[in-house]
Structure 1
C-alpha cells in the first residue's frame, strides 16, 4: 500500500539556487556571500555595538566566523526523540559564534550562533531552546514537527540562529541554579532571544548588505514558550511564529508538576507495569470510539469523561501489578485535576489545567515519552530527585527551590505557595507567556501557528488550549482567525512519537505570511526514522476543537478521517 507523500518544499538536497526556486520563495535568489565567501565570512568578526540591540545590553563580541563545508545526512540508532536521531544534510555556510556581554558582571554572557548560507533567500529562522536551556542551539537541526525528508531551513536558504539563553549548564549543578542571578533569569525569560535576534539582523545586514525581508521564530516546549513570548513582548520583531507544545503557563506548570510528583510518594507511586495497566485500560475504553482501533485516542476530551481510574482499584485484601490501590488511583486523579493557585498569577490566570489521557505507556526512544519519562519515572520519587525519577518532579521541584523560594535546601514537600506570594508574582510576570492581547502582533501582519500534542505529559496540552481560548475571548473569533491557528495532534507525546506528528509548519507559515494563503488541508504523517523516511500512516491535522473521526477505508490514510466535533 502506498501512502501519497504530502507535497512540501524540497525532498532532495538541491543546489541552493534550484532549491530556492523549487520552494517558491519570492524575491531574488542571487544574494549571497560574494565571489570570495571565505573572506566575506572572516570579515564578520567586528563586534556588534550595544546600540544595535533593542534592550539595554553589553556589546556582542564575535568569537569566530568561519566558512564550514557541507555535511551529509546521518541517522543514529537511538535518541531522545525521533527527530533527534536525524542529523540533516547541511550545506556549506558561514558559521558565526559569539557572546553578548551582560550588564551585571556576575551574570553569564549570552552565547549565540548564526549560520549564513552562501545563497540567501532574504529570510531568517530563529530556533527556540528546550528544558532550562543552558546549551547553545545550533540552528542546524530539523525545525519542530518537520518531516524527516524535508531540507532544513538553512538548506532552503534561510539564515538560522540560536542561543543558550544566557547561561551554560555546569556539571554537578542543577540546571535551575542560574535563576539565582536576576539578569540570567531575565535572559532566560525573554531578553536573550530579543538580543540575539537583533545581533543576527545586524550580521545579516553586514554580510549581505541588507536586513532580512521576513523573520520567523520556531520553537517547541520551552522553545514554544519563547515563541509565544516573542509575539507578546516583541510583536514587531517577527513575521511568522510557530509554537509547538509550549510550556506556556510556566509558573503553574512547575507547581502542578511538583504537586503531581508528591502525589506519587509512598503508596501512590505507580510501577511501570501499572502504567502499562492504565494505558491498556484507557485504550480498551476509548481507542475504538473514533471508529478505528489503532491505539490512538483520537478524542481525548471525551475519553477523560469515559475512563475512571477507580475501575482499576484492587479488590479488598489484594494488591499487585494488575490493579491500583487507593493512593495510586488518587494520584491518577490528581494528574488529571487542575492545580489552583492560592496566589495571583500574571494576566489573571488562576490555575493550571489537568493533563490529558492516552499514551501513558508510549515507548520512549530514550527517556522522553509517556508517564515513565515525565511523571512516575522508573523508581519511586526521592528527595533530592534521582535520575530514575520522573522529569517533571526533577524540573518542578528544582524550579520551586531556585526560582521561587530561592532556597536550594528547601524540602518542596513542605513548600507553601502562600509563603512566597510576592516572588511568585514577580517570576510569573517574567516567565508566563499568557498575555492574550496579541493586537500589536496582528496589526503588524504577524501570523501565529500553535500545535498541541494531546498525549503530552511534559506539560498539559490544555494549557495551550486555554491560552488560545483566552485570545479568542479577548480579541474576537473573526480577528483571531485572520492571524492565528491552534492545531491538536491526538496520541502524540511531548517529543513527537506515538502517532502521526510531522508536518511542514515552516512552509505553511511562509505561505500565510508571504502569499496570504491561510493553512488548509494540512496532514500529519508518521515516518520511518531511516532513509528514505517512508510514510507509514497519516492523519488530517485538525484545528481545535475538531478531532479526526474515522469515516471508512484504509485507516493508514489521512483521507479515511474527517475533522469532526
Structure 2
C-alpha cells in the first residue's frame, strides 16, 4: 500500500491526471502520503502553473524552490517590531515551496510567493496578508494577527499556509518603499491582483500535491494585510470562506493624506518630545481612565473621552517647558484629532478621513516606543525627505504622496494639494481603498468576516473601520449584516497590539462560524509575557462594537470583572 501511494504522489507531483484522493483514507494511508510528501517535495521544483489556472489576466507561475523542512522548536527573538513578531512558533515537518508569477508587461516585477505544505493536511488553507508597502515575501510560518502567543500557528494545525510580496521587491536603502507605484502593473498587483493570483496558484499546488482542492479557504491580515482581506471580500467574493481583518488601512487614500497633514502639523514648533507625549498621555488618563469604573491605565471609551479631554488645559502660561504645551503643539494635537476633508470625492462617495485618538499616546512595543512616538512624532521633527527618526505615518504618507499621487519623486510635499491632482487621487482611491459596502456577493457565497479595530491605534484611524461597518449595515440591513460580519474593538491597544490586552482566539472563532455556523461569543482579550510560558498578565472581554468593557467589581486584571455594555 505504501509503495502504491508513493507512486500515486509521485505521479501527482509530475502532473499526471488522477482522480481526487478519497476523503476517508485510513490512518495508515495518510501516514504513507505524509512520508512520501517529504521524499518527493523537491520534485515540485521547476513546475509551471499555466496562466489558464489563474482567474484573472496573468503570466504563468513557476516553482523556483521546493525544500523539505525539518521540525523547528519555539524561539523568541530579543528584538522585533512587535511582541508577536518576536515569537517564532514551533513548526512541524513540511514542504516549503517558493515561486514567482510572471507579469503581463515585461517592465513590471514578478510576484514572489511561498506555500507551506503540511504532512498531515486538514483540507484547509490560510493566506497571510502583508504589511506596510510589502516588498518582502510573507512566509505564512508565523502566528496570525492577534493570536495568543501560546497557541500553535495554522501550519502546525494542518493548514496549508501561504503569502506573497504583493508583486514588487523592496531593497532597503536603495529606494523608497513606495517607488514601485510608478509602474502601473505593480500598483494593481499591490492593490489587489497579486493576492488573487497567488491564491489561485496555491490552489493549483494543493490539487497537485494532495489530489484535491481545499475544502475551506481563509484570509487573515493586519494593517495593510487587513486592507487586503477586505479587498478580497469586495473584489473576489467567492474566493474565501472566512476573512479576519485586523486594524485594516481601509481608507488608504485618506490615510496617506492624513499622514502628510499630521506630519506637517509638527513643523514650525508643533513637534513634541518624549516628555510632552507622556504629558498628554497622563492628562488623557486623568480625564478618562476611570470613566469605565476602573482606574487601570486603560481608556475603555475613547469616543466619550473626546468630550472629557481638553488639550488646551495643558497650555503653557509662560515660556515653553516639559510640563506644558505651546500653542503650536496644541494645534498639532487638535489637528491629529480632527477629521481631514480632502476636497476630492474618493471611491464609494467618501471625501474625508476620520481623526485619531485620544488614548494610547505613550504605549510601548517590545521595549521600543509605540503610540505617538512610533507613528506620529518620531524622535525628531519631520525631515524632508523623511528619515528613520521620523514618525512612520509621516514617512509613509509623504512617500505615498510623491509616488502614488503626484507621481514625482521630487515633489515638494509642503505645497501639495489633493485638488491639484484630483483625477489621479480618484484613480488611486478606486484601486487602493477597500471601502465598497456592498458585500452581498460575499454574504451569498456564505463568507464570514471579522474586523478588529485597536482603539489606541495611531498608524491608522480605527474609526475608518467602524465607519465601514456602519456603511455595510446601512447598505445590507442590520439583520443581514449581523449574520456574516462582526466588528470588535480593543480599547487602548496600539497598532501592533500593545498598551492593553490585545490578543484573542479570533481565528478559531472564525473557523467555527464558517464550518459549524456558530457565531462568535464570549471572546476574551489577553495581554501576555513575551517569554514562555507566555503568562497572561491582564485580560478583558472582547466587546462587539459599540459596546466596551465596564468594571463591575473584582480583580481589575481579570476579564470576569468586566461586562460589555454601551
Q: TM-score range by the shorter chain?
A: over 0.9
How far off its partner does 1:183 sit? Answer: 0.3
- Report if the CA contact (8 A) 2:362-2:369 is conserved: no
For 1:203 and 1:43, the matched residues in 2 are separated by 12
- Report if the CA contact (8 A) 1:70-1:90 is conserved: yes
The equivalent residue for 1:404 is: 405
Runs of 4 or more off by more than 6 Å in structure 1? 26-29
Give the alignment of 1:108-187 within 5 angstroms. Answer: 108-171=109-172, 172-187=174-189
Give the alignment of 1:93-492 within 5 angstroms. Answer: 93-171=94-172, 172-315=174-317, 317-365=318-366, 367=368, 369-492=370-493
The equivalent residue for 1:538 is: 539
The equivalent residue for 2:38 is: 38
How far off its partner does 1:366 sit? Answer: 5.5
The equivalent residue for 2:551 is: 550
How far off its partner does 1:367 sit? Answer: 4.9
SS at match of 2:214: coil
For 2:63 and 2:386, the matched residues in 1 are separated by 39
For 2:482 and 2:235, the matched residues in 1 are separated by 21
The equivalent residue for 1:16 is: none
Structure 1 regions of 5+ residues with no counterpart?
1-25
How far off its partner does 1:29 sit? Answer: 8.9
- Report if the CA contact (8 A) 2:363-2:369 is conserved: no
For 1:360 and 1:38, the matched residues in 2 are separated by 49
How far off its partner does 1:34 sit? Answer: 4.2
For 1:41 and 1:391, the matched residues in 2 are separated by 41
How far off its partner does 1:368 sit? Answer: 6.2
Post-superposition CA distance 1:226-247 (Å, at most 9, x none): 0000000000000000000000
Distance of aligned partners of 1:233 and 1:28 in 2 relative to their CA distance in 1, 3 Å threshold: farther
Post-superposition CA distance 1:339-358 (Å, at most 9, x none): 11211100011210000211
Give the alignment of 1:10-25 within 5 angstroms. Answer: none
Aligned residues: 539
How far off its partner does 1:308 sit? Answer: 1.1
SS at match of 2:365: coil
For 1:394 and 1:100, the matched residues in 2 are separated by 30
SS at match of 1:371: helix
For 1:219 and 1:352, the matched residues in 2 are separated by 22
- Report if the CA contact (8 A) 1:44-1:206 is conserved: no
In terms of mean alpha carbon deviation, does 462-471 or 354-363 score higher? 354-363
For 1:170 and 1:354, the matched residues in 2 are separated by 33
Distance of aligned partners of 1:499 and 1:438 in 2 relative to their CA distance in 1, 3 Å threshold: same
SS at match of 1:36: helix
